Amino acid sequence: MARAPSLIPLSERVYYLPGSVNCAVVVGEGGQAVLIDTGQDKDHGRRLAQACEAQGVKPAAIANTHSHADHYGGNDYLTRSLGLPVYAPPFEAGIMQEPYLEPVYLFAGAKPPAEMLNKWLLAKPSPVDYLLAPGELELFGITITVLDTSGHAHRHYALQVDDVLLAADAVFGLGLLEKYPLPFGQDIGRQRASMTAVGTLGARVVVPGHGEPTEEVGGLVAANLAALDRAAEVVAAACTGVDSATVLKTTCDELGIAINDLPRYTLNLCTVQAYLSYLRETGRVSFELRDNRLCWQRV
Ligand SMILES: [Zn+2]
């Protein structure tokens, strides 16, 4: 029989389960635990439940950081099998309840081709029982500080317990930044502010959604900001009176990114468009409609 996955302690009552997506477990009174994000799918949710059992703690609620399928895909299994209530940020909650919205928004609002309807972009629907709000949330004797760290997703919340910041995708692990020099973002101005904020919260350890937890918080934040600023520079330089698809191509060529499937193409296009909005907002690029094309120009 395979050994049960085990939780790794980060503090007296905060643990995490490493994986393609890091999930955290915060243990309160009577061993009741809050699961922070649930991973990609049923298997991920089951592993999380098994890890809790092996640790002797009882899952009692789920809190999700945002609505990307890889962070709440385990909710369906966990809510059905254990009847857990779900807490989620507003806006994101709507997508979690109607997951088809994710492939739809990535395909510019239209019906997406079948290639986009996989578990990477389309999780099973999750109920949402309570909306999270920035501030303090008391659950099972634990004070969870809910922090608005939007930008990677439109309403992305990070959760802090004691001196452990469960940052999810507010920041990316160093390995991920090397592998993906154009990390996903939906609102780049807010994403930049959120990355900066992660460095000011006084956390001893930061757990990114992807990659290793680290106590080198300053270095992690600096690397994330550098990646964002570099991407912004590359996107701006690609704005030579060409359309968004051409900006995407030039940006990927410059950053050494090879896109081989439709889901990745749409994720990268979404990110590039988020950069274009950000650069326009900050007066660095302009656009015009020319010959039925939306053309972007560096200012
Ligand atoms: Zn995400």
CA of 162 to the centre of ligand 1 (A): 24
pLDDT at position 119 is 85
Task: Give the chain's domains with CATH numbers.
Answer: 8-230 (3.60.15.10), 232-298 (1.10.10.10)
Say which DSSP state 30 is in: G
Phi, psi of 284 (to 5 degrees): -100, -20
Q: What is the mean pLDDT of each run of 10 residues along the chain (299 residues)?
A: 82 96 97 97 96 97 97 98 98 98 97 94 97 98 98 98 97 94 97 97 96 96 98 98 97 97 97 98 97 96
CA of 30 to the centre of ligand 1 (A): 32
Burial of residue 165 (number of CB atoms within 10 Å: 0-12, 13-18, 19+): buried
pLDDT at position 219 is 97
Q: What is the pTM of this model?
A: 0.95
Whole-angstrom Cα distance, residue 281 to residue 127?
35
Whole-angstrom Cα distance, residue 183 to residue 156?
15
pLDDT at position 283 is 98
Q: Express each pLDDT in 102-134 by its tens digit.
A: 999 999 999 999 999 998 899 999 999 999 999
CA of 51 to the centre of ligand 1 (A): 23
Kindly list the protein residues that place their beta carbon closer than 5 angstroms to ligand 1, a single-atom ion: 68, 169
pLDDT at position 2 is 60
CA of 168 to the centre of ligand 1 (A): 8
Say which DSSP state 274 is in: H
CA of 69 to the centre of ligand 1 (A): 8
CA of 140 to the centre of ligand 1 (A): 27
260, two tokens: 């081989």
CA of 156 to the centre of ligand 1 (A): 8
CA of 221 to the centre of ligand 1 (A): 17
CA of 21 to the centre of ligand 1 (A): 9
Whole-angstrom Cα distance, residue 296 to residue 39?
37
CA of 169 to the centre of ligand 1 (A): 5
CA of 299 to the centre of ligand 1 (A): 31
CA of 76 to the centre of ligand 1 (A): 18
25 C-beta neighbours (distance < 10 Å), count = 23
Whole-angstrom Cα distance, residue 187 to residue 161?
26
